[in-house]
Structure 1
Amino acid sequence: MSNPSAPTQQNALQTGIVQLRDATEAIKVRIRNPAKLRNLELFLLILAWVIGGGAMVLVQLGALQRVDTFPLQLAAMLGLLTLALHITLRVVAREADAIILPVATALNGLGIAMIYRIDIADGFTGWDAASVRQMAWTAMALLVAIVAIVAVRNHRVLARYRYLAMAVAFILLVLPLIPGIGRTINGATVWISLGPLSFQPGELAKIALAIFFAGYLMTARDSLSVVGRKVLGIRFPRVRDLGPILIVWAMCMLVLVFQRDLGTSMLYFGLFLVMIYVATGRRSWMVIGLGLVAVGGVVAYFALGYVQRRIHAWIHAFDQSVYEAQGGSYQIVQGVFGMAHGGLLGTGLGLGRPDITPYANSDYIIPSLGEELGLAGIFAILGLYLVLVSRGMRIGFQGPDDFTKLLGVGLAFVIGLQVFIVVGGVTRLIPLTGLTTPFLAAGGSSLLANWLIVALLLRLSDSVRGRGIV
Structure 2
Amino acid sequence: MTAAPNTTKPSGQDSPSTDTAVLRALRRIRVPQTQRNRELFLLIFAFLVNGSAIALVQLGTMGAIDAAFLFYCGALIVLVLAMHIVLRLFARDADPFVLPIATILTGLGIAMIYRIDIAVELGGWDAYSTKQLAWAAIAIVGAIAIVILLRNYRVLFRYTYIFGLAGIVLLILPIIPGLGTDANADVWVSLGFFSFQPGELAKISLAIFFAGYLVRTRESLTAVGTRFLGMTWPRARELGPLLVIWLISLGIIVLQRDLGTGLLIFGMFVAMLYVATGKTSWVIIGVVLAAAGAFLASRVLPYVGGRFSNWLDAFNPEVIDRAGGSYQLVQGIFGLAQGGLVGTGLGQGRPYITPLSQSDYILASLGEELGLIGVFAILCLYMVFTSRGIRIGLAGQDDFGKLLATGLSFTIALQVFIMVGGVTRIIPLTGLTTPFLAAGGSSLVANWLIVALLLRISDAVRSRPRVVIG
TM-score category (smaller protein)? over 0.9
Cα distance change of structure 1 residues 282 and 195 upon mapping to structure 2, 3 Å threshold: same
Cα distance change of structure 1 residues 333 and 283 upon mapping to structure 2, 3 Å threshold: same
Cα distance change of structure 1 residues 423 and 23 upon mapping to structure 2, 3 Å threshold: farther
1:58 matched to 2:33: no
Cα distance change of structure 1 residues 23 and 291 upon mapping to structure 2, 3 Å threshold: farther
SS of alignment partner, residue 322 of structure 1: helix
Distance in 2, matches of 1:427 and 1:332, equals 8
Correspondence for 2:256 among 252, 255, 259: 259
Question: What does residue 113 of structure 1 align with?
Answer: 111
TM-score, with structure 1 as normaliser: 0.94
SS of alignment partner, residue 181 of structure 1: coil
Alpha-carbon shift at residue 23 of structure 1 (Å): 5.4
Q: What is the CA deviation profile of residues 345-365 of structure 1, one whole-angstrom value per residue up to 9, with x for unaligned ones?
A: 000000000000000000000
Percentage identity across aligned positions? 58
1:131 matched to 2:129: yes
Q: Is the 8 A contact 1:314 1:431 kept in 2?
A: yes
Cα distance change of structure 1 residues 223 and 353 upon mapping to structure 2, 3 Å threshold: same
Distance in 2, matches of 1:158 and 1:21, equals 41
Alpha-carbon shift at residue 125 of structure 1 (Å): 2.6
Distance in 1, matches of 2:113 and 2:71, equals 16
1:247 matched to 2:277: no
Distance in 2, matches of 1:317 and 1:88, equals 49
SS of alignment partner, residue 120 of structure 1: helix
Distance in 1, matches of 2:177 and 2:104, equals 39
Alpha-carbon shift at residue 184 of structure 1 (Å): 3.4
Question: What does residue 212 of structure 1 align with?
Answer: 209
TM-score, with structure 2 as normaliser: 0.94
Taking only aligned residues, the RMSD between alpha carbons, in angstroms, comes to: 1.3
Question: What does residue 89 of structure 1 align with?
Answer: 87
The number of aligned residues is: 451
Question: What does residue 38 of structure 2 align with?
Answer: 40
Question: What does residue 8 of structure 1 align with?
Answer: none
Correspondence for 1:385 among 382, 385, 388: 382
Question: What does residue 172 of structure 1 align with?
Answer: 170
Question: What does residue 190 of structure 2 align with?
Answer: 193
SS of alignment partner, residue 439 of structure 2: coil
Question: What does residue 235 of structure 1 align with?
Answer: 232
> Where does structure 2 lack aligned partners over 5 or more consecutive residues?
1-14, 466-470
Q: What is the CA deviation profile of residues 181-210 of structure 1, one whole-angstrom value per residue up to 9, with x for unaligned ones?
A: 11131x200000112211000001111111
Distance in 2, matches of 1:396 and 1:20, equals 35
Q: Is the 8 A contact 1:184 1:190 kept in 2?
A: no
Letter of the structure 1 residue corresponding to residue 210 of structure 2? F
Question: What does residue 454 of structure 1 align with?
Answer: 451
Q: Is the 8 A contact 1:338 1:368 kept in 2?
A: yes
Cα distance change of structure 1 residues 239 and 131 upon mapping to structure 2, 3 Å threshold: same
TM alignment of 1:412-431, pairs within 5 A: 412-431=409-428
Alpha-carbon shift at residue 70 of structure 1 (Å): 1.5
Letter of the structure 2 residue corresponding to residue 117 of structure 1? R
Cα distance change of structure 1 residues 453 and 23 upon mapping to structure 2, 3 Å threshold: farther
Q: What is the CA deviation profile of residues 238-263 of structure 1, one whole-angstrom value per residue up to 9, with x for unaligned ones?
A: 21111111111111000000000001
Question: What does residue 72 of structure 1 align with?
Answer: 70
When structure 1 is superposed on structure 2, of 337-346 and 28-37 the one drifting more is: 28-37
Alpha-carbon shift at residue 18 of structure 1 (Å): 9.3
> Where does structure 1 lack aligned partners over 5 or more consecutive residues?
1-16
Correspondence for 1:152 among 150, 153, 172: 150
Alpha-carbon shift at residue 227 of structure 1 (Å): 2.4
Correspondence for 2:346 among 349, 362, 380: 349
Q: What is the CA deviation profile of residues 195-242 of structure 1, one whole-angstrom value per residue up to 9, with x for unaligned ones?
A: 221100000111111101111111111211132111122111121111
Letter of the structure 2 residue corresponding to residue 218 of structure 1? V
Q: What is the CA deviation profile of residues 299-351 of structure 1, one whole-angstrom value per residue up to 9, with x for unaligned ones?
A: 10111011111001001101111111111110000000001001000000000
Correspondence for 2:368 among 356, 367, 371: 371
Q: What is the CA deviation profile of residues 67-114 of structure 1, one whole-angstrom value per residue up to 9, with x for unaligned ones?
A: 111211110000000011001001100110111101100000000000
Distance in 1, matches of 2:102 and 2:173, equals 29
Question: What does residue 5 of structure 2 align with?
Answer: none
Distance in 2, matches of 1:217 and 1:22, equals 43
Letter of the structure 1 residue corresponding to residue 449 of structure 2? L
